[in-house]
Structure 1
């Protein structure tokens, strides 16, 4: 399914279509594939409507020079929620997908969301004296040049073969060029979302991968120090893609969080 944004970009999304069920919306990280969410979607399907949004410039969404900034991605999310006439949605973001949701909260407040789940994304990408849990070894000294390098594989644990091959096929049909989305990655890296941890307008769950090649999972402890009401969890034997590497454990953690949300 597709829709056109107010800046004339065609975005792709999927929807399990169970309109009588509470809604979840997933957003993959930069360059990520919605195919890597299929096992998690299947685990939630009995109880929830599950929507996936391909951010602009990746997946099956249009490639464009327009809107290579996190704030625009937040507006894209709002426009999809408006189109589908959804309220009280739980947004789940992996990697930069989580930053898109923090941007949404910073612009719209609670908006159309009920809660947020972050899958392995530190609220600050660049490490400095105030925050040591950035992306790999990214500092102001090597920013932004380091972002041009190959980051290596994102996962640690084996990913289901069927799901992996589906993502590979999608990449072949809809190639992703990191160079064309570099400006967005740079803008993403500059952000500091700790204020949205401190003053979050919705309940929040932050999940880290124990073996993430990108982030030290101890950033979850630092988040608890910022706001003890934010729920945190670390998924064992898991890299940067909890939804794909450990879907059952990730489902268990998120389901418990959802169960405890106030209606």
Structure 2
């Protein structure tokens, strides 16, 4: 395990294995870098350098209330990339990790990004009159009340493999997530609207969708179609919920590998 210290003095934990083109894996809200266990193993053994990051106040990184905003997390990602002198990175984000990728592109552009992969995340979480593909039952009138409850529901369709479950349980016991510290980040995440960003990205993008994800009111991937952006691709991982990278790692890795080799 390695660390960098950000310009606002927060210590960020990351793992770094393998050699080759760099893939940076980014977890979702309240999650830890070890959620990418099966991807780290598979892709590092198949010619890639794999970096997995713990967000501030997540996992083995410093737990702090300082600057808990999506745009600041994008800045943390930028500091990781610049500190390690990485070039032409492949960015993979699950859930909130996808939001951070879109924020990163908004602030820093795409010149150092070769491909983007987002996993089970709508570009807009709050539903309104013109958008019904956010989180179920979530709207501007109730999002503050519902925010703490969303992650309390079952999010997976299939059981987590025992190997990863044991790793996650041990690390989450040693480094528990503080929901009070993270609450402001959760609200900030929910307020974002990345639809314009998604449409204007010019590097290849893959949207990975868990076909039984319990989160979404409608099919947000309809917005992420080639008719809106010729660089957009999408794939459906059948019989998976919000964590397709865990629930069906073999199929997930195969779809990612196909995308990387053919775009």
TM tier, smaller: over 0.9
- Does residue 41 (structure 1) correspond to residue 40 (structure 2)? The answer is yes
Contact 1:105/1:201 (8 A) holds in 2 = no
Identify if the C-alpha distance between structure 1 residues 249 and 216 changes in structure 2 by more than 3 Å, giving closer, same or farther.
farther
Instruction: Give the aligned length.
Output: 259
Greater alpha carbon shift after TM alignment, 224-233 vs 132-141: 224-233
Separation of aligned partners in 2, 1:92 and 1:219: 18
Superposed displacement of residue 132, structure 1: 0.7
Alpha-carbon separation, structure 2, partners of 1:111 and 1:241: 29
The 1:53–1:95 alpha-carbon spacing in structure 2 relative to 1, beyond 3 Å, is: same
The RMSD of aligned alpha carbons is 1.3
2:143 aligns with 143
Q: Which residue of 1 aligns with 2:65?
A: 65
Alignment match, 1:185: 186
Gaps of 5+ in 2: none
Deviation at 1:131, TM superposition (A): 1.3
Question: Displacement, 1:229?
Answer: 3.0
**Residue 2 (structure 1) aligns with:** 3
What is the correspondence of 1:93-242 to structure 2 with a 5 Å cutoff? 93-149=93-149, 151=151, 152-215=153-216, 218-224=219-225, 225-242=227-244
* Inter-partner Cα distance in structure 1 for 2:140 and 2:229: 26
Structure 2 counterpart SS, 1:41: helix
In 2, are the aligned partners of 1:36 and 1:164 still within 8 Å (CA)? no
Structure 1's unaligned 5+ residue stretches are none
Q: CA deviation at 1:115?
A: 1.1
Verify the 8 A CA contact 1:36 1:244 in the aligned structure 2: yes
Q: Which residue of 2 aligns with 1:83?
A: 83
Give the drift of 1:47.
Answer: 1.6
Q: Distance in 2 between matches of 1:182 and 1:155?
A: 22
Tell me the TM-score normalised to structure 1 length.
Answer: 0.95
* TM-score in terms of structure 2 length: 0.95
Question: Which residue does 1:246 correspond to in 2?
Answer: 248
In 2, Cα distance between equivalents of 1:178 and 1:67? 15
Q: Which moved more, 1:187-196 or 1:251-260?
A: 251-260
Work out the CA distance in 2 between the residues paired with 1:25 and 1:173: 24
